[in-house]
Amino acid sequence: MKPARVITLIGKEGRELIRDPITLGLCAVMPLIMLFLFGYAVNLDVENVAMGVYDEDRTPASRDLTERFAATDYFDLRRTFGSLGELEKAMQQGEIRLALIVPRNFHRHLLEGAPAPTQILVDGSYPAIAALAGAYAEAIVSAFPRPRPSAIQPQVRVWYNPSMRSSHYIVPGLFAVILMAFPPLLTALAIVREKETGTISQIFASPATSAEFVAGKLVPYGVVAFFEIVMVVAIGTLWFDVPFRGSVLLFLAAAMIYVLTTVAIGLLVSAVTSTQLSAMLLALVVTLMPSFLFSGFLFPVFTMPLALQIYSQLFPATYFTEISRGIVLKGAGIDSLALPVSLLFLYTLVIFAIATRRLRQKVA
């Protein structure tokens, strides 16, 4: 790949729109896709909330309390912890959403009829889920048998979003949705315009390779999209008063990878379509709709059926939503976000390779 050729290819645009069978097919299929996606993905019920337990008492009474949580459909007991540090790390990484802490002398205090406080920690990244899960947990603890009604005193603490403000949860998720909505839609028209105006034949006849051609389209749109995310983050955090607890440099580095991913998706869409209208419709189907439904932006992925949870892993917005909320709300570092960042980087390479190969087949 020669930089001079890539620089030469940047900025070529076209403007025509024509109809084709793909456009008509998408118009018929899109309503059905939306019907099934919304019908299966939207689930506001609180079930199988991942929880962990730190039992300092280790008595029959504390084990009985833990089993009462595990016996309900509301909570999924994932693991027990040996220290508060392990519990905090698991919650920061999103492994658990709720934690039950049973202090020492819990059983003895019950036998004596003295107050026996317990602590419930809730991940406030999802305010609606946190409020319901915390209420369910408090009800289970309050219903635990004891000599007198006031013996057990549950103490609920919400981490990462203690005010339970929806804007603190919505805005970091919007970063992923906005980048998945607009850059792919713009770049989806890039190669299609070349096809419609006929200027792409000049590219085919030139010494430029398909990788150089795709890179020439990728770079300028990537720069525009990067400035877009910087603007959105600045306004989102300042205007909505969202606390930014993590590293700005780490966030920008992850955002740059995500930007290249979204732009590459748009180029891939334009490489497999022949008209601007069909490219726009296909871009909406593969980017905007999944980013709303399967990224965890509005509906937590863990509340969906298992098949849809696996399906959500096919979309890069799922990974960046986790990264964005992890850095902004939880102050997570690269050690906690290494997996989603790595998967996002791998996703970018795969999409770029597919787009390049698809264009090479067209050239051949």
Mean pLDDT of 239-244: 84
Q: Name the domain boundary from 159, 180, 213.
A: 159
Mean pLDDT of 250-263: 90
Name the β-bridge partners of 51: 77, 98
Nearest to 102 by CA among 123, 88, 116: 116
Residue 22 to residues 15, 183, 247: CA-CA distances in angstroms? 19, 22, 44
Q: Do both 24 and 118 map to the same domain?
A: no
pTM score: 0.68
Q: What is the pLDDT of residue 66?
A: 93
Q: Do both 130 and 234 map to the same domain?
A: no
Instruction: Write the single-letter amino acid at 196.
Output: E
Angle at CA 165, nearest 5°, toward 129 and 319? 60
pLDDT of 213 higher than 80? no
> Residue 64: left (phi > 0), alpha (psi -120 to 50), or beta?
alpha
For the chain, percent of residues with pLDDT exceeding 90: 20
The Cα 56–Cα 260 span in angstroms is 47
Q: What is the pLDDT of residue 45?
A: 56
Q: How many domains does the chain have?
A: 2
Q: Do both 233 and 308 map to the same domain?
A: yes
Question: Which residues have C-beta within 8 Å of that of residue 100, sequence separation ≥ 6?
Answer: 51, 52, 53, 54, 65, 66, 69, 118, 119, 120, 137, 141
Q: Do both 329 and 181 map to the same domain?
A: yes
Q: Do both 217 and 333 map to the same domain?
A: yes
Q: Do both 259 and 307 map to the same domain?
A: yes
Mean pLDDT of 131-139: 85
Q: Name the domain boundary from 159, 178, 205.
A: 159
Give the structural domain span for 267. Answer: 3-41+166-363
The encoded tokens of residue 342 equal 């790595």
Nearest to 106 by CA among 45, 163, 53, 151: 151
Residue 230 to residues 24, 90, 170, 244, 251: CA-CA distances in angstroms? 37, 29, 17, 13, 10
Q: Do both 113 and 201 map to the same domain?
A: no
Q: Where residue 139 sits, what CATH number does that domain have?
A: 3.40.1710.10
Residue 155 pLDDT grade (very low, low, confident, very high; cuts 50, 70, 90): confident
- Give the residue with greater pLDDT, 105 vs 14: 105
Q: Do both 198 and 88 map to the same domain?
A: no
pLDDT of 222 higher than 70? yes
| Helix-then-strand count for the chain, H and E | 16, 5
Q: Name the domain boundary from 159, 192, 210.
A: 159
Q: Do both 36 and 126 map to the same domain?
A: no
Which of 23-32, 100-109, 130-139 has the weakest average pLDDT?
23-32
Residue 357 pLDDT grade (very low, low, confident, very high; cuts 50, 70, 90): confident
Q: Do both 222 and 173 map to the same domain?
A: yes
DSSP 118: E
Please name the residue that has the structure tokens 């863990």. 302
Q: What is the pLDDT of residue 21?
A: 52
Q: What is the secondary structure of 241-309 as a DSSP string? A: T----S-HHHHHHHHHHHHHHHHHHHHHHHHH-SSHHHHHHHHIIIIIHHHHHSSSSSS-GGGS-HHHH
Q: Do both 8 and 131 map to the same domain?
A: no
Q: Do both 81 and 194 map to the same domain?
A: no
Nearest to 148 by CA among 106, 118, 114, 119: 114
